[in-house]
Structure 1
Amino acid sequence: MRTHWSNSLKIAGLAVTIVLAGCATSATAQEPAATTTTDADTYPMVSGDFWEVTGIDIKPGGGLAYANHLANKWRASQEFAKSKGWIKDYMVLSNYHNRSGEPDLYLITVMTDIASGPEAEARYVAYNEWSKASDAQLEAESADRAEFREVMGTSLMQELNFKD
């Protein structure tokens, strides 16, 4: 999973670098026009919250077991993270008209920022203390859920808000 995050962040960083380089190149290539700027000259959006979206495929007969997991263990861990200010919100969305190969559910977590380095490690330690579970126990619980669900993938998106 860390490889997926690492690759996603590298790709996002590369995309931002390319966009910024393009902006710098196009800005220097233009002749200085008027000294005043208009709304049309500025980018109309600002970065907002991060949304982590995980697609879940529920295996036949696993709906109730997974719903119970979400309503109990998953919800409790999300509430813990929310109480610490690590996340702003969370939700479960059902893919009502899912096509073949699409997830049945989407688990969404909304964050203002993404912890890294020492902050991420501190959160990891705090979560393990709160859950009263070892890494081995948490891994075993995740493997147990494989009986009734499959994680199809996770995306990290950032909301873009319109400037007023």
Structure 2
Amino acid sequence: MKTLRFAAIAALALACTTPLAAQELPITSAELVEVGMIRIDDGHFGDYAAFLNDQWRKDQEYALKQGWISGYEILSNEFPRAGEPDIYLLIRYPSIPDAAEQKKRQDAYLGYMQTSMQKQEAGSAERAKYRKVLGSMLLRRWVWTK
């Protein structure tokens, strides 16, 4: 009897199920959001804020003008617990470029900023004295279709 009931329920479920390919989702994928998680040593918030206002902001404004990103922002963690970031750096991308496009963008950026990867890495090493990059995430934003 249990087997017959289970079979009837399974048949009903299959009859009422629309194939996934035929279903229209109520959401669709949108931009990508990169989230950098930064911990700043005590007494160095001003140092890092100066970097963000100067170099990081210039970088993002250049990328925005080129259409490589669709926006950026800084969020602070007002009540960080042990091990949590103080600041989240968000960068919004309409899409991720392939390797060739990424190289083209890197070359254009380095030329515009009159810098090199070695100088960029040296700057990062200098900031590492008072800030820690705890990690990063790449998130996908979804929007309603209905």
Bucket of the pairwise TM-score, normalised by the shorter protein: 0.7 to 0.9
Moved over 2 A (4+): 30-34
For residues 55 and 99 of structure 2, the distance between their equivalents in structure 1, rounded to whole angstroms, comes to: 26
Deviations 1:30-73 (A, max 9, x none): 56989xxx9xx421110011000000000111100000000111
For residues 116 and 59 of structure 1, the distance between their equivalents in structure 2, rounded to whole angstroms, comes to: 36
Residues 55 and 33 (structure 1), Cα distance of their counterparts in 2 relative to 1, 3 Å cut: closer
TM-score using structure 1 length: 0.75
For residues 119 and 32 of structure 1, the distance between their equivalents in structure 2, rounded to whole angstroms, comes to: 46
Aligned ranges 1:43-54 → 2 under 5 Å: 43-54=25-36
Aligned ranges 1:15-164 → 2 under 5 Å: 41-164=23-146
Task: Tell which has more relative contact order, 1 or 2 (C-alpha 8 A, sep 6+).
Answer: 2
Larger Cα Rg: Structure 1 or Structure 2?
2
Residues 31 and 126 (structure 1), Cα distance of their counterparts in 2 relative to 1, 3 Å cut: same
Number of matched pairs: 130
For residues 134 and 43 of structure 1, the distance between their equivalents in structure 2, rounded to whole angstroms, comes to: 45
For residues 138 and 122 of structure 2, the distance between their equivalents in structure 1, rounded to whole angstroms, comes to: 25
- Identity percentage over the alignment? 35
Instruction: Output the aligned Cα RMSD.
Output: 1.8
For residues 61 and 121 of structure 2, the distance between their equivalents in structure 1, rounded to whole angstroms, comes to: 20
For residues 57 and 124 of structure 1, the distance between their equivalents in structure 2, rounded to whole angstroms, comes to: 27
Residues 65 and 162 (structure 1), Cα distance of their counterparts in 2 relative to 1, 3 Å cut: same
5+ long unaligned stretches in structure 1: 1-29
